[in-house]
């Protein structure tokens, strides 16, 4: 297997483990809660501690990789995630579970951005689209494979195996990483910005945690608003601080690059809309249509088939049409398929739902591959660690915001209709709201230069020809005389 294929698969192994783990747990929550003697509501609050840990430690990932080497940090991150998984499987109380999830979050915070950094520093930019297509698959497959897998394990085995299946996957990832990934390390690591890390950690933790629990009835709305407010204030202070330091943990100056700006802002809006799908669709199928968790998971798994089908075509499509055209049109197309979920009713054939999810997954996979690749097109090699950290934070906030907006839309519809019980008809407005937000991302992609991302797409840059030299006065006079003669003779 070529290096361009092997390294993305190694990184994808770790990302798949992380993405699948978070969605498998949601399906098995009642069984876990009953076994450790608590309520599902309390356990949901404990699970969000993972998101809090993730948000707090991601900003430190770039500096850590530069200081200790991306290969070593990536391998240790997998090991830490495995330790947290074992801790979850051995938990006998909510406290044990919370501590184990925090450990998992610490490992996950290093795995995702450092894994991308390994990829960026190991693969030439000309082959980056293909590499990102392979790495993007876990982010799409994990959330849809998780529910049926979680339902199967809980039904036929015990919930402990949900976490223990991470161990062989993690061991394989560590062995492959140590064997095939070069020991990449920065020669001149920057000074660690501890004050900035505290501000960014509090800010991102407050915002991500607040958005994650918003609309889930886990905490009072006043507490949720306070969390988001404190997080926003802390992030504002961080932005002020970042302008005064030479080595910020989150470098917002990268947004000056047109491709990075489009990937961050447009990508946030697109992920917000699409990121709500794994939250809204299972609720619609299980609560609205009355499907079992296992059957619901098998239906939603259809979108993974579309995602897998796209990975071999993404590079060719982007090379043919360019990032700007593809991302603008595809953002609208993907949003249309998201909005189509609003038309699903109890009488809609499951086969039709699955077909729409397959085709929608195809276009969503293309868009995620383009967004993930475009972000690094203009970034200099010495700034790659900062770029991967910024992109990872943006993705985490987008997913949290997507769940919050989806939940808030459903609750608002319930309030307007004066009902307290969920039904299938209450989900349609939520799908429309998130699809509109996702569609708006097309504007930011259209604003890019025509040849945006040509460094990684394989499509040539647009060369603007210099203006022609003005003709000499004698040549101009001779031309005018010849034209006048031709007109007279004609």
> Is pLDDT at 24 greater than 80 in this prediction?
no
Query: Cβ(260)–Cβ(454) under 8 Å?
Result: no
Instruction: Quote the tokens at residue 281.
Output: 């669709």
Most confident of 12-21, 130-139, 155-164, 224-233: 224-233
The pLDDT of 347-355, averaged and rounded, is 89
CA pair distance 201, 56, nearest whole angstrom: 4
Q: What is the pLDDT of residues 433-479, one digit of tens each?
A: 999 999 999 999 999 988 887 877 766 655 545 555 544 444 444 44
Judge contact between 129 and 4, C-beta under 8 A: no
The residue with greater pLDDT, 287 or 269, is 269
What is the pLDDT, as a whole number, of residue 481? 47
Q: Which two tokens stand for residue 28?
A: 């098995």
b/e 106-129 (16+ beta carbons within 10 angstroms → b): bbbbbbbbbbbbbbbbbbebebbb
Q: Determine the pLDDT at residue 80.
A: 94
The single-letter DSSP state of residue 404 is H
Cβ atoms of residues 455 and 259 within 8 Å = no
- Percent of the residues in the chain that have a pLDDT greater than 90, as a whole number: 15
At residue 1 the predicted structure's pLDDT band, cuts being 50, 70 and 90, is low
Mean pLDDT taken over the chain: 80
Instruction: Look up residue 252 and give its DSSP letter.
Output: G
pLDDT of residue 340: 92
pLDDT single digits (tens) 181-205:
877 666 666 677 788 888 888 888 8
> What is the reported pLDDT for 488?
41
pLDDT tens, residue by residue, 150-173 = 777 777 788 888 888 889 988 988
Angle (deg, nearest 10), helices 267-275 and 384-417? 50
pLDDT of residue 27: 64
Residues 6+ apart with CB under 8 A from 14: 74, 77, 78, 81, 111, 115, 170, 173
Identify which of 105, 386, 1, 59 has the alpha carbon closest to the alpha carbon of residue 197: 59
Cα–Cα distance between 291 and 300 in angstroms, integer? 12
- Helix axis angle for 302-310 and 293-300, nearest 10°, is 20
pLDDT for the residue 409: 85
Give the span between the Cα atoms of 222 and 229, in whole angstroms. 10
pLDDT of residue 42: 66
d(CA 209, CA 314): 34
Predicted confidence at residue 330, as pLDDT, reads: 93
**Spatial distance between the Cα atoms of 147 and 153, rounded to a whole number of angstroms:** 10
The SS3 of residue 444 is helix
pLDDT of 485 reads: 44
Question: How many residues belong to the chain?
Answer: 490
Give the angle 250-272-301 at the CA atoms, nearest 5°. 120
Q: What's the confidence (pLDDT) of residue 26?
A: 63
| Token pair belonging to 88 | 């979850």
pLDDT band at 486 (very low <50, low <70, confident <90, very high): very low
* Residue 393 tokens, joined: 């934070």
Give the DSSP letter string of 321-355: H-HHHHHHHHHHHHHHHHHGGGG--TTS-HHHHHH
> Residue 64 — pLDDT band, cuts 50, 70, 90?
confident
Q: Which range scores top for mean pLDDT: 50-59, 303-312, 367-376, 380-389? A: 367-376
* Cβ contact 147:282 at 8 Å: yes
């Amino acid at each position: 297997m070529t290096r361009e294929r092997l390294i993305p698969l190694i990184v994808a192994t770790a990302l798949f483990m992380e993405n699948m783990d978070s969605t498998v747990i949601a399906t098995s929550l009642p069984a876990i809660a009953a076994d450790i003697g608590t309520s599902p509501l309390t356990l949901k609050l404990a699970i969000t501690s993972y998101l809090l840990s993730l948000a707090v430690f991601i900003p430190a990932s770039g500096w850590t990789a530069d200081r200790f080497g991306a290969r070593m940090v990536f391998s240790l991150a997998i090991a830490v995630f495995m330790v947290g998984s074992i801790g979850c499987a051995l938990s006998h109380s909510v406290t044990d579970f919370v501590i184990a999830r925090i450990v998992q979050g610490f490992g996950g915070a290093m795995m995702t951005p450092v894994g991308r950094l390994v990829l960026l520093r190991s693969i030439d930019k000309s082959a980056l689209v293909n590499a990102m297509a392979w790495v993007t698959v876990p982010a799409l497959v994990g959330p849809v494979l998780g529910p049926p897998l979680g339902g199967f394990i809980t039904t036929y085995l015990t919930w402990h195996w949900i976490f223990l299946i991470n161990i062989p996957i993690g061991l394989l990832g560590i062995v492959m990483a140590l064997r095939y990934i070069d020991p990449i390390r920065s020669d001149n690591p920057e000074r660690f910005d501890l004050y900035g890390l505290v501000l960014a950690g509090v800010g991102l933790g407050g915002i991500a945690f607040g958005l994650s629990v918003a609309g889930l009835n886990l905490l009072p709305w006043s507490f949720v608003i306070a969390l988001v407010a404190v997080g926003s204030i802390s992030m504002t202070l961080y932005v002020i601080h970042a302008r005064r330091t030479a080595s910020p943990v989150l470098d917002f100056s990268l947004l000056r690059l047109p491709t990075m700006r489009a990937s961050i802002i447009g990508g946030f809006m697109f992920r917000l809309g699409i990121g709500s799908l794994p939250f809204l669709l299972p609720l619609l199928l299980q609560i609205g249509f009355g499907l079992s968790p296992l059957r619901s998971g098998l239906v939603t798994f259809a979108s993974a088939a579309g995602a897998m089908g796209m990975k071999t075509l993404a590079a060719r499509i982007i090379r043919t049409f360019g990032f700007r055209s593809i991302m603008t049109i595809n953002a609208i197309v993907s949003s249309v398929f998201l909005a189509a979920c609003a038309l699903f009713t109890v009488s809609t054939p499951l086969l039709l739902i699955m077909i729409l999810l397959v085709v929608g997954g195809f276009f969503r996979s293309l868009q995620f591959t383009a967004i993930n690749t475009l972000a690094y097109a203009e970034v200099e090699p010495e700034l790659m660690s900062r770029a991967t950290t910024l992109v990872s934070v943006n993705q985490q906030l987008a997913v949290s915001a997507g769940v919050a907006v989806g939940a808030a839309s459903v609750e608002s519809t319930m309030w307007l209709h004066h009902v307290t019980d969920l039904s299938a008809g209450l989900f349609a407005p939520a799908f429309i709201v998130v699809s509109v937000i996702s569609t708006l991302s097309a504007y930011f992609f259209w604003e890019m230069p025509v040849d945006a991302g040509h460094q990684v797409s394989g499509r040539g840059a647009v060369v603007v020809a210099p203006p022609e030299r003005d003709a000499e006065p004698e040549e101009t006079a001779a031309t005018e005389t010849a034209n006048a003669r031709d007109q007279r003779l004609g």
